[in-house]
Amino acid sequence: MRIGLLGAGFIGMFYTMALHDKRGRDKVTVVYSRTRESAEKFARQWNVPHATTSMREAIEHDEVDVVIVGLPNHLHKEAVLAAAAAGKPVMCTKPLGRNAAEALEMLNAVEAAGVFAAYLEDLVYMPKTLKALKSVRGGAIGDVLWVRSRETHPGPHSDWFWNPELSGGGALVDMGCHCIEIARSFIGKDIRPVEVVCWADTQVHPIEPEDHAIGLVRYENGAIGQFEVSWVFRGGMDLRDEVAGSEGTIWLNHWLRTGMEMFTAGGEKEYVAEKAESATGWLFPVGDETSALGYVDMFDDVLGALENSREPVETFYDGYVVNAIMDAAYRSCESRKWEPVELAVWRGRENVENIAVRREYDDDHFLVKRERMPDGSTKVILRNKATGEISQRID
């Protein structure tokens, strides 16, 4: 595939590393950036044949088969609408829009134009997450009841993230989108997110938007997604997920305890890992960042989907749902109450059953709990089906 990359910043670089290094047969052929200097610098560094300061020229270029949007959040809509108007397949980084209204406009534009579109949510393609999703979908942990997803670090690397006019908000919109989609992936993207409660505050930085937020998303089947995002966390980037099911548990640590731990008194002269705060003492380097963050598997999926005319794992519709959940979270911060998730378009299941389970013990009782005691006996806690009375006995 010949790629027109919009944006020559941090994500543009990660995307290009993943595209050029791994699949090999894909190539960024045109790069667009605001200034000629940065477009040409990027083109030289990554061996890109054409550099331009015109977004339209990059999109319409005859050596571009697919457009990848890696621009600040306020430019996603303009870029996607331009790609749709040009009839070019388009892939957009997260968050899809600054809010659900923008995301819906983008979804409608690509669908009306009939162009392929993918939402580039790399963190659902992290190798450990792919493995965990396979286990969950195979039934290994029963019904998913609670997914806790965390992304925290000391704050983003460019000015526009900190300006809510351009970004759409603070840590919540920047990283909540990842955590929400991770939870949806485990719970089931066809299960309707019903309501959200969220706390957010500006604890450290002299900025308007929140630099810390924690929220709960309740799904129609009773499952809970919990997101924890922060721009005030010290010590690098903490990227962890926990999945609690009726029959099992999965804990995932993607960044600070990945199995590689290194002590250096003299100091690491090279880059350590994304958002690492120190280069001496105990370090937690990451073997292959583009792969560990999911970029390699993500491009394998989305470019494969485009080639084979199938849907990618992450669609613009998913991006829209995520934006709608974040909108509800912002409303909840204001009202200090649970707020409904407003979805003008719902494409999942309706009236799903609640996942609460009732385990049979005998004709008269449900089993509440069974536990082996220190003396070797097994104690059971029971609930009488008729009266609701709770009792215990030794089995």
Ligand X SMILES: NC(=O)c1ccc[n+]([C@@H]2O[C@H](COP(=O)([O-])OP(=O)(O)OC[C@H]3O[C@@H](n4cnc5c(N)ncnc54)[C@H](O)[C@@H]3O)[C@@H](O)[C@H]2O)c1
Query: Could you list the residues that contact ligand X (CB under 6 A)?
Result: 7-12, 33-34, 38, 70-73, 75, 93-94, 122, 158, 160
Q: The tokens of 53 are what?
A: 């300061």
Task: Select 8 or 303, whichever has its Cβ closest to ligand X.
Answer: 8
Task: Select 29 or 221, whichever has its Cβ closest to ligand X.
Answer: 29
Task: Select 178 or 365, whichever has its Cβ closest to ligand X.
Answer: 178
N-terminal to C-terminal alpha carbon distance within the chain: 64
Torsion, Cα 130 134 139 142, to 10 degrees, reads 0
Task: Select 94 or 383, whichever has its Cβ closest to ligand X.
Answer: 94
| Alpha carbon distance 221, 226 (integer Å) | 15
Cα–Cα separations (whole angstroms), residue 158 to 76, 111, 165, 301: 16, 32, 14, 29
Query: For the chain, what percentages of helix, strand and coil (3-state, to nearest 5) are there?
Result: 35, 25, 40
Task: Select 41 or 218, whichever has its Cβ closest to ligand X.
Answer: 41
Minimum distance from residue 290 beta carbon to ligand X (Å)? 11
Q: The tokens of 327 are what?
A: 């909108």
Minimum distance from residue 275 beta carbon to ligand X (Å)? 11
Minimum distance from residue 75 beta carbon to ligand X (Å)? 6
Minimum distance from residue 344 beta carbon to ligand X (Å)? 23
| Alpha carbon distance 175, 54 (integer Å) | 29
Task: Select 8 or 147, whichever has its Cβ closest to ligand X.
Answer: 8
- DSSP-assigned beta bridge partners for residue 6: 32, 69
Say whether 240 sits in a helix, a strand or coil. strand
**H runs (alpha helix) in the chain:** 10-18, 36-46, 55-60, 76-85, 100-113, 127-137, 164-167, 171, 177-187, 289-292, 295-307, 316-335
Minimum distance from residue 258 beta carbon to ligand X (Å)? 17
Task: Select 190 or 277, whichever has its Cβ closest to ligand X.
Answer: 277
Minimum distance from residue 249 beta carbon to ligand X (Å)? 26
Minimum distance from residue 313 beta carbon to ligand X (Å)? 14
Output the residue with the shortest Cβ distance to ligand X.
9
Q: The tokens of 306 are what?
A: 């485009």
Strand pairing category for 224-230 and 281-283:
unpaired
Give 106-129 as a DSSP string. HHHHHHHHT--EEEE-GGGS-HHH
Cα–Cα separations (whole angstroms), residue 372 to 8, 244, 368, 375, 381: 59, 22, 14, 8, 12
Amino acid at 287: G
Minimum distance from residue 346 beta carbon to ligand X (Å)? 25
Task: Select 68 or 147, whichever has its Cβ closest to ligand X.
Answer: 68
Minimum distance from residue 31 beta carbon to ligand X (Å)? 9
Count of residues for the chain? 395
Task: Select 50 or 385, whichever has its Cβ closest to ligand X.
Answer: 50
Question: 84 CB contacts (<8 Å, ≥6 apart)?
Answer: 90, 109, 110, 112, 113, 115
